[in-house]
Amino acid sequence: MDISTLITINPKTRNMIRLTMVWHVVLTLLSYIFFSVLLAEKFLNEIHGVLRIVLMMVVFLFGSTSAWAAVELFFCRLRGRTLSLAVNFLGFIAFFLLDLHFLGIFTGIDNLGATFAKAIPALLGVAAGYFISTMSDRYEGNYDRAERFRQVGKWTALISFIVFLILAGIFQGLVAIFQQMVNFTPFVLTLGSVLFALNVLNIWREPAAIALNANSFHKEAIDGYLFLSPNLLGFLLFFAGPLLFSLYVSFTDWDAFGNKRWIGLENYAKIFNLDVKQLQTSDQVVTEAVDTTIFDELTRFNIFGKDYLVAAQDKLFWISLGNTLLFCLLAVPLSVIPALLLSNVLNSKIPGMKFFRAVYFLPSIAATVGVSLIWQWLYNAAVGYINFFITSGVNFWNNLFGTAILDPQVRWLSDTRTALIAIVIMAAWQTMGYNTVLFLAGLQNIPKELYEAAVVDGAGAFRKFWNLTLPLLAPTTFFVLTTTTIQALQVFEQVFVMTNPPGGPNNSTLTLVLYLYQKGFQRFQQGYASATAWVLFLVIFGITLIQFQRQRNTQAYDT
C-alpha cells in the first residue's frame, strides 16, 4: 500500500497504526541500547559465556525485527502487521513470564497447595450449582420455573467459587502481589506486558487488519500460528535450546556450578581414545605394546590364536556401549516378533478378544518404576516366584523320572551372566503389548478381499502370512522397529531401579544413559556427560538412518 492511501483510512485507525509504529521505534532503540550494554562486558559481569552470546543474538534479532515492522507499518504494508504481531506477542510472553517470576506467582502456587484442601468443599458447591442449573431443562414448558432453577444454580456456583477463593487465600495472595508491584523490576515488567498486549490488540483489531489489506488467507495463517505457538515456543525453550546448550557444554570442562572452561574436543578424544595392538608373544611386556602413560585401562584377549591388547582411556564408556548394543540386539526381537505373532491371534473374531487386547496392552501404560520393582521381587533368588517355579519344576521332574537334576538357583540380578538378560526379559514383556497394538492396527488396515483371493488361489495360513501379511505390514513393521530400537538404546529406568548398585554387578548392566547420568549428576562432569549424550545421539541417528535406508530399498513407500 502506498503512503498516500493513508488518507483514505479512518483517522482513528490511522492514528492507532502510527502509534504502534512509534512503539516499534522505541522498542528498536531500547533493544539496541541493551545490546550495547551486553557488548560492554564490564557492565554485566554476572552474564558469562554462551548465555551472554545467546542473549545478545536474541536482543539484536528482536530489535532488528521491530525496526523492520516499523518501516513496513509506515508504508501500511501487510508484512508490517505480521511482523508487529510476532514481535509484540513474543515480547508479551517473555515479559509476562518474567513478571510472574518476580511477583512470586510460581511460589504462590506452591503455597496454594497448603490451603487448597480446606477449600475443596466450596468446589463441591460450584458443582452443585451447575447441576441445579441443568434441572431447568426438565421444565422447558414452564419458563418461570426453568428460569428460577437457572438463577439459583448460577448464584450457588458463583457464591461457592467466591468462598473457594477466600478459603484458598486469594486476598493474601493479592496483597503479596501488590507489595511486590512497588519494586522497580516487577513494575517495569508489568508495564511492559500491558504495552505489548495493547499493541497486539491494536494491530489484531478488524479496522487495522482491513487498513493493512489483511485477507481471509492471512487471518487464517495468523490464527494457525497462534494456536501452534505454545508447541513452537515449548519446542524452542525446552528442547531445541537445551539441546544446543548441551552441544556447547560438551566442548567444555564444567561441574555444573563454576565457570565453564573451553577445552574443545578433549571430551570426545577421551571417549574415542583407543589403541589395539597385536602382541608378538604371549609374554610380551604390556608397556612395550601400549603407552601406559595415556591408557590406564588395558584388556588382553585372544582371537584365532593371536593375542591382542586393547587400551582405552575410558573403558567404562565402551563397556556401557557394548551393554547397550547387546541389550538392543536382544530386546528388540523379543518385543517385536512375539508382538507380530500375537497381533495375528488377537485380530481374529473369537469372543473375548477385546478383553485380551486390553490385558496385553496394560503393561505398556504401567509406570516403569513400579513394574521394575515388581520384577525385582520376582527375580529375587530366595523368595522370588520365578525361582520358586523353577525349583518346583526341577523337583517334580526328579520325582517323576527319578533323575538328579540340580536346582540352578539362578541369581538373576546378582550374577554377571544373567543380570542383563533379566532386564531384557522385563523390558521386552513391557514393550510387547504396545507393539502388539500397533501391529493390530496395521493388520486391520489390510483389505479382507486380499485374504479371500489368496484362499481362492489355494494359499494356506503360512503362505498368507508370509506372502501377504508381512509385505503389507512393512510400513508398520518399520515404525515398530525404529521406535523400539530407539527406546532400547535409551534404556535407563529398569537398570537404575532393578540393580544395586545401578549398573551392577561388575558393570554388567551399565548402559550409556546410566553412565552419562553417573558422570553428569553424581560426579558432576557435565561436559563429559554431554559429550557422551551426543555420542549416543549419533549412535541412535546412525542406526535409524540405516533402517530408513533399508526400508527405502524395499520400496515400501512406493505407490
Beta-carbon count within 10 A of 493 CB:
16
Residue 33 · residue 59 · CB < 8 Å = no
Q: Which residue range(s) make up the domain with 284?
A: 274-313
| Grid cell for residue 54 | 545467546
pLDDT given at position 118: 76
Q: What is the pLDDT of residues 181-224, one digit of tens each?
A: 778 888 999 999 999 999 999 999 888 888 888 888 888 888 88
303: which strand partners? Answer: 306
Task: Say what the pTM is.
Answer: 0.73
Kindly report which listed range (2-11, 179-188, 306-315) carries the lowest average pLDDT score.
2-11
Which amino acid, residue 85?
L
Q: Is residue 358 part of a domain?
A: yes
Q: What is the pLDDT of residues 141-150, one digit of tens each?
A: 677 777 888 8
Residue 375 · residue 381 · CB < 8 Å = no
pLDDT given at position 265: 86
For 376-387, what is the mean pLDDT? 90
Q: Where in 506-557 does DSSP place strands (E)? A: none
Among the candidates 313, 342, 372, a domain finishes at 313
Cα 504 from Cα 516, distance rounded (Å): 15
Kindly report which listed range (55-59, 275-279, 547-551) carries the lowest average pLDDT score.
275-279
Residue 149 · residue 111 · CB < 8 Å = no
| Grid cell for residue 382 | 530366595
Do 347 and 297 fall into the same domain?
A: no
Q: What is the pLDDT of residues 413-425, one digit of tens each?
A: 999 999 999 999 9
Do 309 and 337 fall into the same domain?
A: no
Do 359 and 508 fall into the same domain?
A: yes
Judged against a pLDDT cut of 90, whether residue 378 lies above it is answered with: yes
Do 392 and 522 fall into the same domain?
A: yes
Do 23 and 68 fall into the same domain?
A: yes
Total tally of structural domains belonging to the chain: 3
Q: What is the pLDDT of residues 88-131, one digit of tens each?
A: 999 999 999 888 888 877 766 666 666 777 777 888 888 888 88
* pLDDT averaged over every residue in the chain: 83
For 229-235, what is the mean pLDDT? 87
Among the candidates 197, 214, 231, a domain finishes at 214
Judged against a pLDDT cut of 90, whether residue 32 lies above it is answered with: yes
Do 292 and 373 fall into the same domain?
A: no
Do 209 and 358 fall into the same domain?
A: no
Q: Is residue 351 part of a domain?
A: yes
**Phi/psi at 158 (5° precision):** -65, -45
Do 309 and 325 fall into the same domain?
A: no
Residue 30 · residue 188 · CB < 8 Å = no
Cα 14 from Cα 83, distance rounded (Å): 18
Among the candidates 193, 214, 235, a domain finishes at 214
Do 388 and 497 fall into the same domain?
A: yes
